[in-house]
Amino acid sequence: MSLVQLTGVGKNYGNITALSGIDLEVGESEVTCVLGDNGAGKSTLIKIIAGLHQHSSGTYEVNGREVHFNSPREALDEGIATVYQDLAVVPLMPVWRNFFLGQEKRKGLGMDSAFMRKTAKQELLDMGIDLRDVEQPIGTLSGGERQCVAISRAVYFGAKVLILDEPTAALGVKQSGVVLRYILQARERGLGVIFITHNPHHAFPVGDRFLLLKRGRSLGYYRKDEISRDELTALMAGGAELEELSHELDRGGGGVAAAAAKMLEQESKELGITPGSTP
């Protein structure tokens, strides 16, 4: 039985159809990747699964039972935890305080600091995250390490399904590799993972299933044995073209690419949007 199953799910915001006819399944010890360009509907999809928004059509089932979550709390009670890209951490607080943020272990009238320190350290170690010191402010960790702390925290607090919204988007190659490794760790521990990304090279090595979104519709839903890395990359070709554009710009190539980038920038200014931002 699937932990999470969506069948024909759609979402309208007023007249705007953000999603339609989406099928998706996540089982125990499985990673489902959701790929798509800006505006494809990735965030809308995970907001539905996370209980932030309700779907307008189709069915959403958890452990074979249809659900209509009214809040993220209700989803969390079913073991569905979400790690958002802009992690809600308190940068100046130690790692262990952030690990237990909002779920502090109490002892009498105060907090059981010793327990929390020890547990945070052990849990991180169990995931293979060896921090020198859980006493250091979480703000001093790299972006990748912070994602890893968030993942291990969700595992500790009993998540069965872990949703990761573009955890590697802001990371370099090495840090991305670290986060991908913890996605596999979570899978090994039996969790179902929903991994949102723009990047087929991040998705392919860790994914068991791949859902490709474009303008709110499914471009395809594949199991790993049904698609190759090259095919996945080709399907995401929109993204590849953009990458080429940015390489051209990096090389200081003026000309057409620079003109196009300028135009895009101007357009987004007029529309009052920042490219790459998540609404």
Residues 3-42: x where in contact with Mg ion by CB under 5 A, - otherwise, as a string: ---------------------------------------x
147 scored as a contact of Mg ion (CB under 5 A): no
278 scored as a contact of Mg ion (CB under 5 A): yes
Q: Which residue is nearest to Mg ion (CB)?
A: 43
43 scored as a contact of Mg ion (CB under 5 A): yes
199 scored as a contact of Mg ion (CB under 5 A): no
Contact partner, 18, from ligand ATP, Mg ion, none, Cβ < 5-8 Å per class: ligand ATP
Q: Are 39 and 215 in contact (CB under 8 A)?
A: yes
CB of 217 to ligand ATP, least distance (A): 11
| Closer by beta carbon to ligand ATP, 138 or else 179 | 179
CB of 94 to ligand ATP, least distance (A): 31
| Closer by beta carbon to ligand ATP, 42 or else 202 | 42
Binding site for ligand ATP (CB under 6 A): 13, 16, 18, 36, 38-44, 278-279
